[in-house]
Structure 1
Amino acid sequence: MNIKDLPFLPQYFDAYIVRIPDDISLADAFEQYSPEKIFGDTDNLLRLGDRVYAPRKWTVKDILQHCIDTERIMSFRALCISRGETVSLPGFEEKTYAQNTVAASRTVEDLLEEYKTVRSATEMLFQHMSRDMILRVGTANNLRITPLALAFMLLGHAVHHKIVLEERYYPIISQ
């Protein structure tokens, strides 16, 4: 299954989904866009420490925690929809979630280890969905979406944050 198999491109999530090539299989995308590969530049992450490129922006630790939280939420949505849930699943307010973590007291290495563990569970969830299950349409945050779209969304979401780090955060390391 790949992006071309999506019955439609869901609004809002399309900005993340399009960050993944449309000809890559989901299994290959999980391999190519693993947390180790996306956030593997640990030296730069550690050099950044708690510095941010502008006031009120997230630290590297906050970004990693946000990616973990988002992956858990998208995986839960995919599970629910794949199993036939017909109730509209709630949205989540990322800023509220970010304000209610202990990411600041954790290490980058610890957060990356948790992210790898969560990703492993996510991959297994999707590996064991039939074609009908992964293409089932449900509603999350008042948007029609499929588990396949959610999978590519969570992969593209992490790529988005890697790009933000490279473009906005890494330049401040040399300052």
Structure 2
Amino acid sequence: MPEYFDRYIDLADDVPVLEALAVSLYEIDHLKIADWKAMGDQVYAPGKWTAKDIIQHIIDTERIFAYRALSFARQEPQRMLSYDEDWYGNHTNANQRSIADLVDEWRAVRLSTIALFRSFTPEMMLHNGKAFSGTYSPLAIGFILAGHQRWHFRVFKEKYLPLLGK
């Protein structure tokens, strides 16, 4: 497993990658959106993201990693650039959007990712590509994306929901 990203891969189901991504789509579709809306602009500590910021971060990360998966599947020889999630987070308009709008985009991005992964042959899934922190494959990226979402669901449950008395 790619170092650092193992924390996300470990949270994904131990099923074929397309199934893991389908399950994560189901989780988006069954999100307790009322809890996310109820958070408003609350954060559990200074400098932390709002609920809307978290969703935007998941969307941004998925788009960047889908590009990496495509590049690796196509055997791109160049090393992928790093991604500064805080920089991206500081340059969004997530807090001016509705939760429903963000969730609609999130769902669309996940459907696009699933279509991309369906287009890969088994051999393409295993092509390793170079990233800023080592090498990994499109297959690993699929599980990273499924687990990354669950990582943030867990953070939301453990650190944000108590602010609502839940």
Q: State the TM-score, normalizing by the size of structure 1.
A: 0.91
How far does residue 37 in structure 1 lie from its aligned partner after superposition? 3.6
Query: After the TM superposition, which parts of structure 1 deviate over 3 Å for at least 4 consecutive aligned residues?
Result: 35-39
Mapped partners of 1:132, 1:105: distance in 2: 42
What letter is aligned with 1:40?
A: L
Once structures 1 and 2 are overlaid, which stretch shifts more, 13-22 or 34-43? 34-43
Aligned to 1:34, what secondary structure does the other structure show?
A: helix
Matched, 1:164 2:155: yes
Mapped partners of 1:70, 1:167: distance in 2: 21
Q: Work out which of the residue numbers 109, 123, 147 in structure 2 matches 1:118.
A: 109
Q: How does 1:56-75 map to 2 (within 5 A)?
A: 56-75=47-66
Structure 2 unaligned spans of 5+? none
Mapped partners of 1:94, 1:141: distance in 2: 14
How far does residue 147 in structure 1 lie from its aligned partner after superposition? 0.3
Aligned to 2:48, what secondary structure does the other structure show?
A: coil
Q: Work out which of the residue numbers 59, 65, 81 in structure 1 matches 2:72.
A: 81
Taking only aligned residues, the RMSD between alpha carbons, in angstroms, comes to: 1.4
**Counterpart of 1:30?**
21
Between the two proteins, the alignment pairs up a number of residues equal to 166
Mapped partners of 1:156, 1:102: distance in 2: 25
- Once the two structures are superposed, what CA deviation does each residue of 1:55-92 show, in whole Å capped at 9, x if it has no partner? 11100000000000000000000000101101101111
CA contact (8 A) 1:61 1:103 kept: yes
CA contact (8 A) 1:38 1:158 kept: no
Structure 1 unaligned spans of 5+? 1-8
